[in-house]
Amino acid sequence: MSNITFTMIKPDAVADGHIGAILGKISEGGFKIKALKLTQLTVADAKKFYEVHSERPFYGELVEFMSSGPIVAAVLEKDNAVEDFRTLIGSTNPAEAAEGTIRKMFARSIGENAVHGSDSDENALIEAQFHFSGREIF
Ligand code: DAT
Ligand code: MG
C-alpha cells in the first residue's frame, strides 16, 4: 500500500465546523479517500499515537488536546501522497504556513493545528493500521 498517507481532522477543526471544507480541500488536492470515520481517541490512544514526542515539553497538552473531542480519521491515496499532503496542509505552526494551505485556513494555533499528516510512507502504514482494520480500508 504505497502512495498512501494518513490524516486526522483534529478536535479544533471538528469543533469549529470545518470537516466539510477540509474534505473539500483534500478532494480538490487530488487525494482519493480509502478510509474515513468520525471517532475519538482515548488518552491511551493519543499517548501511543504520539509516543515519538513523549520527551517533548508539549506532549501532555498534545495528548490532552487530541483526546478532547471527536476527530475525523482518513486514509488518502495519491502519487507521492505523504509529501504532497504535507504541502497541502502547510507548516506545523499556522502562522508560518503558506497561503491557501489547510493549516493556514483552519488552524487555531501551533498546538491546535487542524490536521495531522503522516511524515513517511512507513508511518503512514503504521498510522492507518492503528486506526482502521483491513475491512475498513478500500
Ligand atoms: P506535524 O504535525 O507538522 O508533523 P510534529 O510532528 O512536529 O508536527 O508535532 C506533532 C504535533 O504536536 C503538532 O501537529 C502539534 C504539536 N506540536 C508540535 N510542536 C509544538 C509546539 N512547539 N507547541 C505545542 N504543540 C506542538
Ligand atoms: Mg509529525
Query: Which CATH number characterizes residue 41's domain?
Result: 3.30.70.141
| Residue 100 pLDDT level (bands cut at 50, 70, 90) | very high
How confident is residue 6, by pLDDT bands cut at 50, 70 and 90? very high
pTM: 0.98
pLDDT computed for residue 101 by the predictor: 98
Instruction: Classify residue 32 as left (phi > 0), alpha (psi -120 to 50) or beta.
Output: beta
Say what the pLDDT of residue 11 is.
Answer: 98
For residue 118, how far is its CA from the centre of ligand 2 (angstroms)?
6
| Dihedrals phi, psi of 77, to nearest 5 degrees | -125, 135
Nearest-atom number in ligand 1 for the CA of 50 is 10
Check: complex ipTM more than 0.95 = yes
Return the residue whose CA atom lies nearest to atom 15 of ligand 1.
111
Distance between Cα 92 and ligand 1 center (Å): 6
Write down the pLDDT at residue 7: 98
Q: Decide: 37 and 90 in contact? Cβ < 8 Å.
A: no
Does 18 participate in catalysis according to the annotation? no
Answer yes or no: is pLDDT of 114 > 90. yes
The residue written with cell numbers 491511551 in the block is: 44
Q: Which of 58, 87, 106, 115 to mutate to test the pocket of ligand 1 (most atoms within 8 A of CB)?
A: 58
pLDDT at 127 over 80: yes
Give the CA radius of gyration of the chain: 14
User: Domain limits at 15?
Assistant: 4-136
Instruction: Flag whether pLDDT at 1 surpasses 80.
Output: no
Q: What is the pLDDT of residues 40-86, one digit of tens each?
A: 999 999 999 999 999 999 999 999 999 999 999 999 999 999 999 99
pLDDT for 131 equals 98
Strand ranges inside 1-138, DSSP E: 4-9, 32-39, 71-77, 115-117
How many domains does the chain contain in total?
1
